[in-house]
Structure 1
Amino acid sequence: MEIERQLRERWLGFPGVVVADTGNAGSRVIEGPEGEYEAVLVFEDGLDGEVAALLTEHFVSGKASWVRRAGPVRREAVASDGGPASVCLVAGEAPMRMLVRNFGYASARMHARRGADAQGPAPDELNASATLPALLSHALVAFTREYGEAPAAGVPSLPVWANVLRAVGPGGTEAEVRERAIISRRALRVVLRELTEMGWLAVEDPTPGKRGKARVPKRIRLTRQGLAMERAGRERVAAMESRWEQRFGSDAVARLRDALAGVAAGQDLELPHYLVGYGIADASLTGGSYLPAEPGPPRKPARGEEWPVVPRNANEPPSLTLPALLSWALTAFTLDYEAHELGSLAWASVFLRHMPDEGMPLGAARKLCDVVGNGRSGPERHLCVVVTPGKPSDTSRMVYLTPKSKHVRDAWPRLVREVEREWQARFGNAVADLRQALEGMDTEAWAGLPDYPDTTSWASTLHLRSQGQADALLDQRDTGNGINLAWHAGQRPVSTRD
């Protein structure tokens, strides 16, 4: 029975699920009449068994969209063979295949990797905030926050300036702007629409009403207000760089810039001038692995089909602002880390490493990521975490990592160091110089900054600003009045009010 073989294979590698070699003492599949199957699950006592039970409930609850697509799942109080049972699920072949898929998706096999160097428990000696991506993140977030101290009405946000206004520049088609910005089509279209509504951009159609080959692509240009905002952003970046030279010393900033330029010059592709997610609800940088990685040259990361691949002219050294250099380096490190297929660097850096095996209260978890506790938030839908049931307002409910998230968490510290060693081999002294420059600047004032920047809420906030809501929401976040703009979230702002 193929369903039995597949489920048994998943259960054997799933902590908390009891599987017996023979007989009916453990989890099993019983073939029933008229194409039905009975999945009988037996869970261990203890936390692993509780997590496995919570996940199983999530798989078959009405909150899971696959249940509605695949067909109904019926629960029985006892197993038909009279053996032990924690849960009995009866369904046709399609729902059972989805059950196989979900157990596989939540298990550590999702991120299985050959080589023990990136597996095992996190070494105690690793200072998480001293990893190279964390140091880069602190510098980028610090620069962004100081940039943002300017009056909001007179200066665009740094991501909007770097990713859109700068890229639109002299004007061009959407495809031309997308390749200048290195931003996905879906993300760019959202911000173009919002900036057009705000009066910063104008879209001109040279061939209105035409279709097919007779149609010429629409052109995007900055309006008078947009030109003023682009100039204000550019001048603000220059002023901030001068401020850093005064604070840290011109020699220290020059050393940082030189080290970052050395890393940038070694990149095969153009990268975004500010760290940006694939979409306003997708925090990944390149949108997954729909298109596989290519060794090149030029080296291309695994990516979604909308992520633009623009080879860099190796004969021209990149001319970049300081925040753009920081973003290039952090983007490049992230792509190299995630090429090992051991999960998201951002997710591991800002959430997983803080999450103990014994779980965390929902209220504390919400401060680190966008888990909501309703079964529908990103971390829950993607089976990264599971939350104990209860009232939506009950923030004392516990959040637990699934087996695949534990695997990603435990692999993270070793893999970060492995990628840094790879960089040392590729870029030589530039990596040591970069670390030394960042450590010299990573002052006490930067303590508490996130170990990885947000990549999506700049676009979500832009949408709210065009609706006249962003300033109020930002004020409430800063004063702690119950609105969580999800600094590390992959979704639009959510309320965490009881």
Structure 2
Amino acid sequence: MCPEQQGGVASRLPLSALLSHVLVAFTIEFDNEFEHQMPHTTTWGPAAHSRHGPWLVSLVMWSNFMQFVGENGVSLRELESLARITNLKGLERWGYVVVEPDPADSRTAPPRSDWVVRPTPAGRRAQAVWRPLADVIEKRWQARFGKDEIGRLRVSLQALVSQLDVEMPHYLPVVWSGKSEVPDLKGRLPAAAEGGIASRLDLSVLLSQVLLAFTIDFERESNVSLPISANALRVLDEKGVRVRDLPRLTGVSKEAISMSVGFLQRGRYLVVERDPTDSRTQVARLTATGLQAQDAYRQLPGVIEERWQARFGKDDIRTLRESLERLVSSPTAQLSPLFKGLEPYPDGWRASVRKPDTLPHYPMVLHRGGFPDGS
């Protein structure tokens, strides 16, 4: 059992883990509602390979890309920085957008950077479903946790976001393998399509931007990214953990674990061996280098939180931590209030897979659709 699970309380979880639990819960609830309302196809559940709509994707594809694509199209050059942190090729392949030369461009062979990104009819329908959902979920949270509680969390997050010196995307970047990529927006975040952005940042944006700021500080001093450190690296040890148990222990998908283990193996942070008691089972064991990296993960978030107290104000960080702790309470499915809103619709794909025992300690936003647990 991991140290932070002993006693079943969130009081000493790293600030990054608290932010992550809340963001992942909000995202899953948002995604479940989108899935329920939007005709789609996916791998699991009643809509598996139905071809009744585009391939199902997560909130990140709306927040970091689709909300900026108007009906008449946007130049690829304008969206270039955001395309790198989502999966533009996937959005094309999945049926949300087309990328093609601008009909108004009279040149015979204009460069691809001058081409235009347009939503497909299915993409426009998805935009209409996505647009109000963040406010819908936030109102549910106000009813579930208390309007004052969510209000305090919002104020605490806004206080930090207003002091950030880097313009952040509206959701975490897709994790490819190494460290998180933060696009150089340089004050040029594209204008949203009409009605795309509400007059205030929604809760998922505030959580993402604060978490990404924390990630930047962490990854300046760590050779292992925060997504990999907080999930796979956190639960491993020198004795060995069965690879097949890692998704259950971390709350992230087999695909996310495969990527993480591969990265750690290439960096010689771990070795993968046959279980001496069962030759069919693989065991991941930390090397001396891996143990050092794990110790760094256990120490560095606390150091960063102390720095943030000096940077943003001790009271603001304390208030934020207390708000997050009340929402998380415990990192386990049995005790965390966050799990109350995660029951999927009967026709949702999550209803056909094993329910998680815990939420990820950092979202594993993969190119496969951007789901926060790497699914």
The reply to whether residue 176 of structure 1 matches residue 89 of structure 2 is no
Q: Which of 166, 170, 173 is the equivalent residue of 1:273?
A: 170
The SS at the match of 2:65 is: helix
Partners of 1:442 and 1:412 in 2: CA distance: 21
Cα-to-partner distance string for 1:9-67 (whole Å, 9 max, x where unaligned): xxxxxxxxxxxxxxxxxxxxxxxxxxxxxxxxxxxxxxxxxxxxxxxxxxxxxxxxxxx
1:138 maps onto 2:24 in alignment: no
1:486 to partner: Cα distance: 10
Q: Residues 390 and 343 (structure 1 numbering): CA distance in 2 closer, same or farther, change over 3 Å?
A: closer
Aligned equivalents of 1:208, 1:192: Cα separation in 2: 27
Instruction: Read off the aligned partner of 2:262 and give its amino acid letter.
Output: S
Specify the code of the residue in structure 1 equivalent to 2:136: A
Determine the C-alpha separation between the residues in 1 that align with 2:372 and 2:270: 17
Counterpart check, 1:310 vs 2:186:
yes
Deviation readout 1:59-103 (Å, 9 max, x if unpaired): xxxxxxxxxxxxxxxxxxxxxxxxxxxxxxxxxxxxxxxxxxxxx
- Out of 360, 365, 368, the residue aligned to residue 455 of structure 1 is 365
- Note the 1:394-409 alignment, pairs <5 A: 394-409=279-294
Partner of 2:337: 445
Structure 1 residue 260 corresponds to structure 2 residue 157:
yes
Percent identical among aligned pairs is 28
1:106 alignment partner in structure 2: none
Q: 1:351 aligns with which of 232, 243, 265?
A: 232
Q: TM-score, normalised by structure 2?
A: 0.71
1:434 aligns with 2:313: no
Larger RCO, structure (CA 8 Å, separation 6 or more): 2
Superposition pairs for residues 7-46 of structure 1, below 5 Å? none
User: Relative to structure 1, is the Cα distance of residues 135 and 312 closer, same or farther in structure 2, using a 3 angstrom cutoff?
Assistant: farther
CA distance in 2, matches of 1:138, 1:407: 25
Q: Tell me the distance in 2 between the aligned counterparts of 1:371 and 1:344.
A: 14
Q: How far is 1:132 from its partner?
A: 0.7
In the alignment, is the contact (CA less than 8 A) between 2:30 and 2:134 conserved in 1?
A: yes
Determine helix, strand or coil for the equivalent of 2:174.
coil
The higher radius of gyration belongs to 1
Aligned residue for 1:251? 148
Number of aligned positions between the proteins: 309
Question: With structure 1 as the length reference, what TM-score do the two structures score?
Answer: 0.55
Q: Which runs of 5+ in 1 are unaligned?
A: 1-121, 287-302, 463-484, 494-498
Give 3-state SS (helix, strand or coil) of 2:245's partner.
helix
The CA distance in 1 between the partners of 2:247 and 2:59, in whole Å, is 26
CA distance in 2, matches of 1:339, 1:172: 34
Question: Which position in structure 2 is the counterpart of 1:361?
Answer: 242
Distance 1:433 1:399, change over 3 A: same
Q: Does 1:282 align with 2:168?
A: no
Q: What pairs with 1:30-429 in structure 2 (closer than 5 Å)?
A: 130-150=13-33, 152=35, 154-155=37-38, 157-169=58-70, 171-179=73-81, 181=82, 184=84, 187-195=86-94, 198=95, 200-206=96-102, 207=105, 210-211=108-109, 217-278=114-175, 281-282=176-177, 284-286=179-181, 307-311=183-187, 319-365=200-246, 367=248, 368=250, 370=256, 377-389=262-274, 394-428=279-313, 429=315
Measured after TM superposition, the shift of residue 430 of structure 1 is 2.2
- d(CA) in 2 for partners of 1:161 and 1:486? 13
